[in-house]
Structure 1
């Protein structure tokens, strides 16, 4: 069968290629560039802990060596510390990494993967599709025709795929602008990120009303200054003045020594594509959405797009048309990103609206700080990963369903489980292989070897129920799970979102939930995918 064509060799496209390869699906990545990325220390990304774990599983590289897991976070307003967060097992630290380092790790993994072919200097100019597949043409030194089962546009804000499909991309332009500098220096907060609003030294004008400092390895920091609305020109002289006054203000003395590594202006747009699927062609990442105001991280959402789409494409590639499952990609991911965009648009007038509201509402400054902290740290309405509670794949009317601390459709907690080979692993380590996961909560099993209990109690009946499911599933056992009673059975999707929690072994409910997760019974439809 033909490979999946992926247009764009950024982090989202490379992640999708590796995720498909883990499920035995070949892909061709069309890279319009030369196959390497220019180092830009001022172009960095912040990934939630679970997204960073996904990147490490796919790349096989411990990204903490190239990036920085923050020790803590602090928010200041004028001279007052408004909020401090210390990261630990309960509050995992996000990962801050230069984008070229992340892309380089993914490129290296793709180069070692036999099911991934990267074609450099290949710029897309034509897409044609019919019931049996997709044909794409590229121009350039490697220009040729490519044949694929499906095509995914991961080609950024100016997506050629989106334009060829004539999909509208409405939204807001220049929602926020930031002057950015990457520099090497010593600051009082080792490995701690900070947000400083209304710093007392604001001598370089209104542009210095908010500054963010985020550490990277080897004493490097990325500093962002919020610019006022408009098109203020950021001259080198003005940027150096802001660097010097900010460093002096934070260290409480003369400007400490620093080495300027990179600069830029980061402009945030908010846009959402009207459609994310047209027949056998899909959009993902910045080709489908742009967000990033108030500290939210757009790349994190793009990587979740790839994780959501990969297992659905893999199932359709191996088992034939499954339209409801493929349709659910747009239904789930677009709804989550739309909710985050709405939350940011609603919060912007409050946070950026000046002092009028603060004069009327007591504590509003602290509330604004909480919103910004949520955006920067991937929490709350602005930053937390979305749940697919209203997904078309959600099962209905399960009599044995019980609540646990993870809501249906939300990402599962990474508890320790016993795998079928008797090894102890993290639950996340079993994700991304295309199989459903069935987890039995059985306190006490962790102190015994699997052979002592695998044939006792509920296990034989549950093993038989798992073997009868309409899709391959792996049976795991955990001593506990947040909010789950003993003998609770969890059904988890290949991308790590909880389908349901059942009270004991209920084969009929487990089968119904698994079937719903796959979009219902598979149907072979004439002309499927060419709608």
Structure 2
């Protein structure tokens, strides 16, 4: 085991902000035996706004399920399908479910749609049950100090001490301002009118993207509307609005929203007046694209909307914040437990900022094409490609919607002749396949994530039909078990019947956040050890840049 100096075990991590990202981080750290104090500016609740909803794709839904103990499906609706229309023509259609594309026996490939206050409530309830989490309502941050061993935060006259601090306090982040970190980007990239209503739409359980609808409208409307189903016959509708020419004259008033609802429902039902509906909530969602210059200053970090605003295609950008929390949690835990060097924490920004920056670039490149029209809209095949790009964004796939990979991560080992090719690239999210642990328990691989260990998965066809006592001591298992026991960092040995693209006897090394470190052809103790060291930052144990050096690099980046 590599020994690294660690903070006192009793020092908590201070989490500023009790929204979904802050609570997810606190719960993920608790699963890793790290105590936290959550400084909540509010009084312990979340405003019930039916028009404010969240779409969770399989990886983020699995994360929330792990840290809350389950029950997530009771709060929302998993879509049975999704389709896109252009005019009166169906341009794309897919079905979800246990047999849908990408589905596994452990979960749906279907996105889960739920009200944000329901998600926050489930996370808060789990946090209130957790012995390692202290919730501090009414704690508005006003001062922050840090040195080489601790960070101190003052909230309403009370000083809190911790080993590290993470600002999950939203777009107007006090932490970001106190750390004097720039937040450049573009404001009001797009506007969407939003309404949540109870109605009997023609496609129960299915989401729809409708471009260039054929009905007439009496209100400003850019010709694109999305309907996303929720439980109990409730729908969220989003209309893309044209850029305001005169902000005072182009307000999205209640009258405009009611007209949009009536004309859209009537158009879908192909009638003059729509069937009765119950309008529950309305709002306007303005898309901003911003990215903090840096996500770490000393012992303080940024996550979620405090670090980035990514609202492409009318999305809320919440999922990237949840992925921030998952990435940072295991690194903080490994450093605090003395398993990894302090320099491991620098890779949080290196990995997460690169992924978010790539999504922002993709959106900035795609949106002018998707919204610009002109000659491009008449080029054969262009409309189909645009529809596919938009659908990918809504379904959590591709450059506009996928979870992104850490292919350029400093935590990836150097390629060797022992590497095996599988369908997941190094740095990518592993598939959720069935695995068996050394104690004989069998689960999905994603269920084993988020612990204070790496996962070593042996692909061994046929083991699923044998009792563990028959294969635990057979073939290459003893040699692999010995290699895992002698790794310099904690690791759990798992066995799986199959993995996409992996030949028999492939050995996968997986991080606590589900990212593939390497795939090896057989038992290769030396290469496995090197990969485990790389994944936990052993090669990064060099003096970190000083604050003046970091600031100079930041200024140089701002000029480039």
The two structures have a TM-score, normalised by structure 2, of: 0.92
Runs of 4+ in 1 over 4 A off after TM superposition: 521-531
Deviations 1:126-167 (A, max 9, x none): 11000111000012xxx4000000000000000000000110
Write the deviation string for residues 391-443 of structure 1: whole angstroms up to 9, x where unpaired.
Answer: 01010132201110011100000000111210110001110012100000100
SS across alignment from 1:157: coil
State how 1:233-312 maps to structure 2 within 5 Å: 233-253=251-271, 254-312=273-331
Aligned to 1:224: 238
Of 294-303 and 459-468, more deviation after overlay is shown by 294-303
Match of 1:330, SS? Answer: helix
Choose which of 103, 123, 126 in structure 1 pairs with 2:143.
Answer: 126
Deviations along 1:434-454, whole A, 9 cap, x unmatched?
210000010000001111110
Of 365, 385, 389, 2:383 maps to 365
Counterparts of 2:254 and 2:517, CA distance in 1: 53
Q: What pairs up with 1:268-417 in 2 under 5 angstroms?
A: 268-319=287-338, 322-359=341-378, 361-417=379-435
- Equivalent in the alignment of 1:70: 79
Q: Which residue of the other structure, out of 119, 123, 128, is the alignment partner of 1:102?
A: 119
Match of 1:447 in 2: 465
Deviation for aligned residue 1:248:
1.0
The 1:348–1:527 alpha-carbon spacing in structure 2 relative to 1, beyond 3 Å, is: closer
Cα distance in 2 for residues equivalent to 1:235 and 1:358 = 31
Give the whole-Å Cα distance in 1 for the aligned partners of 2:459 and 2:439.
17
Partner of 2:532: 514
In 1, Cα distance between the equivalents of 2:289 and 2:333? 30
Q: How many residues align?
A: 527
Give yes or no for contact 1:321–1:529 (8 Å, CA) kept in 2: no
**Shift in CA distance, 40/340, structure 1 to aligned 2, threshold 3 Å:** same
Q: Distance in 2 between matches of 1:85 and 1:297?
A: 23
Instruction: Give CA-to-partner distance per residue, 1:456-492, whole Å, 9 cap, x none.
Output: 1101110010001111100000010000000000000
Distance in 1, matches of 2:340 and 2:463, equals 41
Provide the residue aligned with 2:132 in structure 1: 115
Deviates more, 1:26-35 or 1:249-258: 249-258
Classify the secondary structure of the residue corresponding to 2:208.
strand
1:524 deviates by 9.6
Higher mean Cα deviation, 289-298 or 365-374? 289-298
Partner of 2:46: 37
**Alignment match, 1:433:** 451
Question: Which residue of the other structure, out of 173, 179, 191, is the alignment partner of 1:177?
Answer: 191
Residues 208 and 242 in structure 1, CA contact (< 8 A), matched pair in contact too: no
Report if aligned partners of 2:291, 2:357 keep a CA contact under 8 Å in 1: yes
**Unaligned runs of at least 5 residues, structure 1:** none
CA distance in 2, matches of 1:239, 1:275: 39
Between the aligned partners of 2:488 and 2:547, the Cα distance in structure 1 is: 22
Partners in 2 of 1:172 and 1:353 — Cα distance? 18
**Alignment deviations for residues 303-347 of structure 1 (CA, whole Å, 9 cap, x no partner):** 000000000000111117723310000000000000000000000
Equivalent-residue separation in structure 1 for 2:23 and 2:455 (angstroms) = 25
- Between 484-493 and 230-239, report the one with greater CA deviation: 230-239
> Is the CA contact (8 Å cut-off) linking 1:323 and 1:528 kept in structure 2?
no
Q: Give 3-state SS (helix, strand or coil) of 2:538's partner.
A: coil
- The whole-number CA distance in structure 2 between the counterparts of 1:437 and 1:213 is 40
Q: TM-score, normalised by structure 1?
A: 0.97
Indicate how the Cα distance of structure 1 residues 353 and 527 shifts in structure 2: closer, same or farther if over 3 A, else same: closer
Between stretches 105-114 and 382-391, larger displacement belongs to: 382-391
Map 1:191-206 → 2, pairs under 5 A = 191-206=205-220
Q: CA deviation at 1:59?
A: 1.1
- Match of residue 202 from structure 2: 188
1:151 aligns with 2:170: no
Q: CA deviation at 1:294?
A: 2.0
Residues 495-516 of structure 1, C-alpha deviation per residue, up to 9 Å, x if partnerless?
Answer: 0000000000000000000000
**How many angstroms does 1:527 deviate by?**
12
- The answer as to 2:523 corresponding to 1:496 is no
Match of 2:226 among 212, 237, 247: 212
- Partners of 1:349 and 1:148 in 2: CA distance: 45
Q: Distance in 1 between matches of 2:446 and 2:160?
A: 35
Is the contact made by 2:426 and 2:517 (CA closer than 8 Å) also made in structure 1? yes
**2:150 paired with 1:136:** no
**Contact between 1:405 and 1:482, CA under 8 Å: does it hold in 2?**
yes
8 Å contact kept, 2:454–2:510: yes
CA RMSD of aligned residues (A): 1.7
CA distance in 2, matches of 1:308, 1:293: 22
CA distance in 2, matches of 1:289, 1:212: 24
CA 522–352 in structure 1, closer or farther in 2 if over 3 Å, else same: closer
Match in the other structure for 2:555: none
Could you tell me whether the CA contact under 8 Å between 2:197 and 2:234 is conserved in 1? yes
Following superposition, the deviation at residue 356 of structure 1 comes to: 2.5
Q: Distance in 1 between matches of 2:537 and 2:206?
A: 44
